[in-house]
Amino acid sequence: MTHIDAGAELDPVHPVPLPASPSGRARGLSAAEVAQRVARGEVNDVPVRSSRSVREIVRANVFTRFNAIIGVLWLIMLFVAPFQDSLFGYVILANTGIGIIQEWRAKKTLDSLAVIGEAKPTVRRDGVAAEVSTSQIVLGDLIEIGPGDKIVVDGACVEADGLEIDESLLTGEADPVVKQAGDEVMSGSFVVAGGGAFTATKVGREAYAAQLAEEASRFTLVQSELRTGISTILKYVTWMMIPSAIGLVITQLVVKQNDFKGSVARTVGGIVPMVPEGLVLLTSVAFAIGVIRLGRQQCLVQELPAIEGLARVDTVCLDKTGTLTEGGMDVTEVRSLNGSDENYVRKVLGSLGESDPRPNASLQAIIDAYPDSEDWRCTESLPFSSARKYSGATFSEGNGEASTWLLGAPDVLLSDGDPALAETARLNEAGLRVLLLTRATKDLGDPAVAEGARPTALVVLEQRLRPDAADTLRYFAEQNVQAKVISGDNAVSVGAVAGKLGLSGAVVDARRLPTERAEMARSLDEGTVFGRVTPQQKRDMVGALQSNGHTVAMTGDGVNDVLALKDADIGVSMGSGSEATRAVAQIVLLNNSFATLPSVVAEGRRVIGNITRVATLFLVKTVYSVLLAILVVCWQVEYPFLPRHLTLLSTLTIGVPAFFLALAPNKERARPNFVRRVMRYSIPGGVIAAVATFVSYLIARHHYTGTGALAAETSAATLTLFLISMWVLAIIARPYTWWRITLVASMGGAFLVVLVVPWLQNFFALKLVGVTMPWIAVGIAAVAAAALEFTWRWVDRRIPA
């Protein structure tokens, strides 16, 4: 209801009333006053960041636990061994540089998209309203607000026109709070109905929401099974490395009486490959490139692993308006009821449209169809609310008579059994939206104003279907992702729209849904389309689906979707949606295209599937490195490799292939239990590779004698390990495509070049001696490859993922 403070505006810094305009409307600050506040630093300077700063990116990529380990070992090798044995350090430098550059590129993409998608509050200065960025608001600014607007700073209400604010994101209270002039408004809340203006009393880091979100506003992460799983794996690796490395150091430096530099080199050669140094890098790069690819499609990913999260979703809850249909509507006809005069009805509708300064899509269609009646004056208004499903206004007509009108949902405003409901149902079945115009007999401020209202006309609206909605729904159906349409509109009408888009299933009126969570979850599993859903019900429905084991994504664009978006596993907002929905969503579709969602799912599946592949590659190396160290300690022999050998092997069988595999297309459906799926392959693979390599090394030690024997032994062991690692790569690269076959063959060819070119032989200290031992090494590798093939196939059949 209207409550307009026609008095003066108060400056919170200098409590002297500022003059209002002659019309009684507060003028806001002058340009000079704004400049003074900027000079004093009284600006809303809280940084809005969609990503880490460049400094944080560099620190996160450089100062890691494993970089520290590798860095120390690299410095040691620079002093005690040839240049070739310190190559692994340069590889780490290159990897770190790639990680920094890719995340910096992703940051630029995120930041540029965030600027495009940033909502700009309307500030009144010198009596003129203009949009400014959030960071340009100063203390004492007069900020205008309407439905869907987020309160960006703390303030005191100056004007209120049926203003209702939802503070649930701050207080947990679900019911909107009616605000009057003088009431406090808190940043982080949002407008659900009505409009008004408030004066900024706290800006920047002093604002309530800024204090709550000081950490959350930084680079944040939704729950990521990939990141959590990799952290778990790295923790296990660290504990495996410590005793293995200590034993190796003692064996090579104390037990074996070799020269000091040679012992150090082989000790470092045993420790370095235990570290899966590229795994975290490739995960970050995969996410970063996903952000860049989606950014080109105008999709803002506000939290990086949201890409992964959407790929794991099995249920998508869709708001009809703005998601399946376009925002605009068209009035197709007006059907008079109870003998009402059609011209008079048009005049009422035109006046109702003019009475709301921030009309929703339905009212905007009425405004476009019917001009305002100049001789009618609005004396009181009731803005539309998703909770009550109607709006209203009181007019002083040209003849001096006063009348009160309501416009809203027929099944809410009419009593059961009213003849107009049957007509409404027929129109709804055709997919049309119907509003009822009624003349109220009670005052607009009466909570029971709808009771006894006289039906006057039905307003029939046609909704514009999004041309890409049907294809997107079909995509989700093919991917076994359930789609649930959850709308505040009439259930029959929503069901008809869903039917036009090829979405079949039971249509349910949400007013008949059970309130108990378990029973609601069962009803949701059985139904597909739900109408007359209140904002709180949307939130409850998301919770019920989650309680039944579903991973839920929620899409929407209106204030009635905010609570559900916040509680969903992944919230997706349209770029044209309200500021509040964009603020709580993890993904914002800036182009307002529902068809972008399959691209997000595809990126998520690419990241999950490919990181699972490359994680197996890295961890096979970690397992065989640890086991080789243990075998060396038990047998009291020299470690079979120098760092240069393992740098070559890692580059050809892991580093280069993993980079291409991590960024390749991958449409495999995302599956849970990342750690279990990776370890069930990497542990047997690593054990087979370690045992076969060590057997080959022991045979070579008996085969070769005299000067140069250690180099020949190392070459034979290296050949065995390379061939086994190539077979692991060949398995991981399946299913084969031309480029995957080319990739594997190129890595094999590169190793062959090293074996046949003399200066490369010398550089990597690799030279196969004789004929017998090299063929024995090949034979051992062939047996190990067969064992790998059998073991992994057995694991596939017997151990579920």
Burial 553-567 (b: 16+ CB within 10 A, else e): bbbbbbbbbbbbbbb
Q: Which of 161, 166, 319, 411 is catalytic?
A: 319
**The one-letter amino acid at 714:** T
Q: Torsions phi, psi of 318, nearest 5?
A: -115, 130
Other Cβ atoms less than 10 A from the Cβ of 323: the count is 29
Kindly state the DSSP code that residue 19 receives in the 8-state scheme: P
Cα–Cα distances (Å) from 647 to 204, 567, 611, 685, 758, in that order, read 51, 47, 21, 20, 19
Six token digits for residue 450: 């709808």
Count of CB atoms within 10 A of residue 255's CB? 13
Distance CA 243, CA 247 (A): 6
First to last CA, the chain: 59
Please, which residues bridge with residue 485 across strands?
318, 529
For residue 393, give the nearest of 444, 456, 455, 446 by alpha carbon: 444
Distance in angstroms (rounded) separating the CA atoms of residues 573 and 557: 5
Which residues, in sequence order, are bridge partners of residue 125?
Answer: 29, 128
HSE (side-chain half, CA atoms, 13 Å) at 308: 26
C-alpha 496/C-alpha 507 separation (Å) is: 9
> Could you tell me which residues come within 8 angstroms of residue 504 by beta carbon, excluding any fewer than 6 positions away?
498, 528
CA–CA distances in Å: residue 756 to residues 177, 709, 776, 782: 80, 20, 19, 22
Q: Which candidate, 671, 574, 680, 51, places its Cα nearest to that of 308?
A: 671
Interacting residues of 59 by C-beta distance below 8 A, sequence separation 6+ = none
What's at 363, amino acid-wise?
Answer: L
Distance CA 277, CA 89 (A): 11
Residue type, 140: G
Q: Measure the CA–CA gap between 210 and 226, rounded to whole angstroms.
A: 30
Angstrom CA distances, 586 to 292, 299, 305, 320, 573, stand at: 16, 11, 9, 20, 8
Query: If residue 128 lies in a helix (H) or strand (E), which one and from where to where?
Result: strand 128-131
The C-alpha atoms of residue 643 and residue 383 are separated, in whole angstroms, by 73
Q: 76 is written with which tokens? A: 């040691």
319 in catalytic set: yes
Q: C-alpha angle with apex 764: 779 to 68, nearest 5 degrees?
A: 105
**Cα 246 from chain centroid (whole Å):** 42
Strands (E), 337-481: 377-382, 390-396, 402-408, 433-440, 454-465
Q: Using CA atoms, how far apart are residues 228 and 615, in angstroms rounded to an integer? A: 13
- Closest Cα partner for 252 from 242, 269, 273, 266? 266
H or E segment and range at residue 283: helix 277-295
Distance CA 203, CA 13 (A): 12
Catalytic residues: 319
